[in-house]
Structure 1
């Protein structure tokens, strides 16, 4: 027997004994009155007298005993109600405990899968960050030489700024931005693999921990603006934020920049093939404010020629726009702030190019004076490229 029920059981026994004793006392009192009044006990053989005695005892004790029985019945009903309430509470506690155990079990299952996916994520990320390619650790990005033949300058020109005619209209800026993202991000197999695993982890977090799992799951059945808005706006369980923050803490700032570019809303009206906007990915980034710690600070003492990936990143974010990713930045950046950052870097870039063009012009004059025609022609070719770059930068509408 449960220890909590022992006092209740004792209380019930006490009441039953009290009722029995009270009934016995009532009987003795009635019998005492009879003896006191008639001065005799059961020695009368007259049946009529016995009948009168029975009527007396019955008429006196029956109401008392009935009253005591009613009290006992009411008490029994009360006790049964209490027992039923206790049973309901026990069942409720048992259900709550079972629910907590189920939650713990589900969370353990989730964490097992989450950290398994996280391990795969880290392995892929390590390969990307350790690979000597154009994305993160290319020596071109870290080259401190100010050589005219600097490979970084060539890469800016050849990979992005060589098509001067594309910059006559803002629509051309967008088209070239789309092309750049396709060629340098979307078609990179390592990045594509990384973004797939990153998306799957965020999707797994949202489906497993969301309080509105049905709506979340349904939204992933399509990839459009509506599904993005659903993912962005539905209530976020605090546990979702915890695990998404764990994931984000492992991603370096350079990868976050590429992630932002990968998830921009691209213009599908251009003639560039294989373009697709990842609306659901945008929704997940917005949902978890995934880019709120992204750093896009472009210092004036940073040379855009040697660090052109920073300049291009700002240009792409400004040109294509971050309106559909605004939630992912939280209060970190607004479109206006992105534009201001780009304008500052653009002015810095133009200033450096003007300085280099002036030096190249002087060098050409010196080569001509020295009759060094070959060096003069090479320098003129470089000067033409720099002049084209300068005109392109100046043509970009802010």
Structure 2
């Protein structure tokens, strides 16, 4: 919408300049010669030669600029189509990977199978209850230590089953961040990704990113679009900014 408004404004400005040029040329002729209509065809011919000789280069220049602008817009539109096509491909692949995710657990002598989003939800509950809950009331550095120790422990056990999915999510976040296509694209892409994930999957993603030097730097990008605003089940939900700041310092050390 904003691009259409910008294009319309540019065409209006160009049209105004063209009309102003015509008015100035005609005004100059009238001021030097006469404003009265004459029946002499030769005079009209002279006026036409004068008018065309001055205006034609000006109008041709505006036409040339219009062609360049059109080519630029076509190129940009093509780049946007390619960017969006790749995004939709990544999002579609991510959904398919999620559907194939599976964890098998023996609980009370019975085999339990967690498929799809339920698998990551199961891991999140283990992390939150067994590790993050113990970090309540500690310092920011200690909270980070509990979180990193917890995520590494659950990754040791479950990572082979969930790595493809969370690597896929990370690739989408990385792709969107590195495109630098503007807030509208970031908001659309990351909001779509958010809608594909459960709250618990997104909570687990935060701690996976927190533990990764490469992914940690993208946490503010997700925070800016409210990626974890509804993830209140997290025992450390109120300390995400402090955890990110502590992790950023840790990774830089």
TM-score by length of structure 2 reads 0.58
Q: Tell me which residue corresponds to 2:221.
A: 284
2:177 is the counterpart of 1:206: yes
Q: Using the alignment, how far apart are the partners of 1:95 and 1:168 within structure 2? A: 62
Is the 1:261–1:317 Cα contact (8 Å) retained in structure 2? no
Q: Tell me which residue corresponds to 1:18.
A: 40
Is the 1:248–1:290 Cα contact (8 Å) retained in structure 2? yes
**Structure 1 or 2: larger strand share?**
2
Q: Alpha carbons of 1:99 and 1:203: their partners in 2 closer, same or farther (altered >3 Å)?
A: same
Q: Tell me which residue corresponds to 1:120.
A: 93
Displacement, 1:260?
A: 2.0
When Rg is computed on C-alpha atoms for both structures, the one with the higher figure is 1
Q: Tell me which residue corresponds to 2:71.
A: 98
Displacement, 1:134?
A: 10
SS of 2:226's partner is coil
2:188 is the counterpart of 1:237: no
The aligned runs of 1:214-233 (5 Å cut-off) are none
Q: Using the alignment, how far apart are the partners of 1:172 and 1:17 within structure 2? A: 96
Higher RCO structure, 1 or 2 (CA under 8 Å, sep 6+): 2
Q: Tell me which residue corresponds to 2:49.
A: 76
Is the 1:121–1:194 Cα contact (8 Å) retained in structure 2? yes
Q: Tell me which residue corresponds to 2:118.
A: 137
SS of 2:58's partner is helix
> Which blocks of at least 5 consecutive residues in structure 1 are unaligned?
1-7, 9-14, 23-67, 142-151, 211-235, 267-274, 297-309, 327-398
2:151 to 165, 181, 189: 181
The CA RMSD measured in Å over matched residues stands at 4.4
Q: Using the alignment, how far apart are the partners of 2:79 and 2:153 within structure 1? A: 42
Q: Alpha carbons of 1:317 and 1:188: their partners in 2 closer, same or farther (altered >3 Å)?
A: farther
Displacement, 1:239?
A: 2.6
Displacement, 1:16?
A: 11
The aligned runs of 1:265-344 (5 Å cut-off) are 276=213, 278-292=215-229, 294-296=230-232, 310=233, 313-314=234-235, 316-317=236-237, 321-323=239-241
Q: Tell me which residue corresponds to 1:85.
A: 58
Q: Using the alignment, how far apart are the partners of 2:57 and 2:50 within structure 1? A: 10
1:263 to 180, 185, 209: 209
The aligned runs of 1:365-376 (5 Å cut-off) are none
Q: Using the alignment, how far apart are the partners of 2:167 and 2:154 within structure 1? A: 16
Is the 2:101–2:162 Cα contact (8 Å) retained in structure 1? yes
SS of 1:188's partner is helix
Q: Using the alignment, how far apart are the partners of 1:276 and 1:160 within structure 2? A: 21
Alpha-carbon displacement from aligned partner over 1:109-165 (angstroms, at most 9, x marks no partner): 122211211121111222237873499536x96xxxxxxxxxx9xx79x9559xx9x
SS of 2:101's partner is helix
TM-score by length of structure 1 reads 0.39
Q: Tell me which residue corresponds to 2:17.
A: none
Displacement, 1:85?
A: 2.0
Is the 2:97–2:165 Cα contact (8 Å) retained in structure 1? yes
Displacement, 1:242?
A: 1.8
Alpha-carbon displacement from aligned partner over 1:1-55 (angstroms, at most 9, x marks no partner): xxxxxxx9xxxxxx998353x7xxxxxxxxxxxxxxxxxxxxxxxxxxxxxxxxx
